[in-house]
Amino acid sequence: QIGPTYQAHQQTQIKKTIQQTRAMINIDFNEIFTYDNGKLYWKKKISYKIVIGKEAGYFSIKQNRHYVSCYGKPLARSRVVYAMFNGFSTKDIDHINRISSDDRIENLRAVTTRENGINTHLVINNKRNLPACVYFDPTNKKNHYYVRARVDGTKKVIGWATTPELAESLYKSYFNISI
């Protein structure tokens, strides 16, 4: 059962996403920024603090990514870069090489949240170097590795495998993902 604190947090996150989406839809980022190898530079003065030609944005250590403030709204630089080349996307913007501060256009792609979850770093306490969806069960004599995912809001074991690679391919085939 979901507690009231978690529900409030979820609603806050949804509101922030809606605000960012509304802010991004009507902006032509190519008029405001110049792109160069993953970085954005100011092209248009939209605030008195802006210096044309200077690198735009700031780095958030907590989130390990770059942001740019555009008309008072903080936007992830990766979303802005993707929008400049491909138009606005409501999907998640994934960093293919898993480095969230690398915002080069060739490193960005629009994916579903489920696909983005596959391309994640290993969990810090993951001593076996398993993909995020694969778990280890030493009690199972034949198939030590199992695949677990959240399907329609509930955790579900998708299947068992003898190696982590087979388990990960089982996950991808279950969700028809070709990453």
Question: Confidence class of residue 105 from pLDDT cuts 50, 70 and 90?
Answer: very high
- Mind listing the pLDDT tens digit for each residue in 55-84? 999 998 888 889 998 887 888 999 999 999
Q: Check: CB of residue 66 under 8 Å from CB of residue 54.
A: no
**Which residues make Cβ contacts (< 8 Å) with residue 159, sequence separation at least 6?**
146, 147, 167, 170, 174
Question: Confidence class of residue 94 from pLDDT cuts 50, 70 and 90?
Answer: confident
Nearest of 134, 138, 166, 156 to residue 147 by alpha carbon = 134
**Which residues make Cβ contacts (< 8 Å) with residue 170, sequence separation at least 6?**
147, 158, 159, 161
In whole angstroms, what is the distance from residue 19 CA to residue 16 CA?
Answer: 5
**Which residues make Cβ contacts (< 8 Å) with residue 6, sequence separation at least 6?**
none
Nearest of 139, 134, 141, 179 to residue 159 by alpha carbon = 134
In whole angstroms, what is the distance from residue 105 CA to residue 82 CA?
Answer: 6
Q: How many CB atoms lie within 10 A of CB 8?
A: 10
pTM exceeding 0.85: no
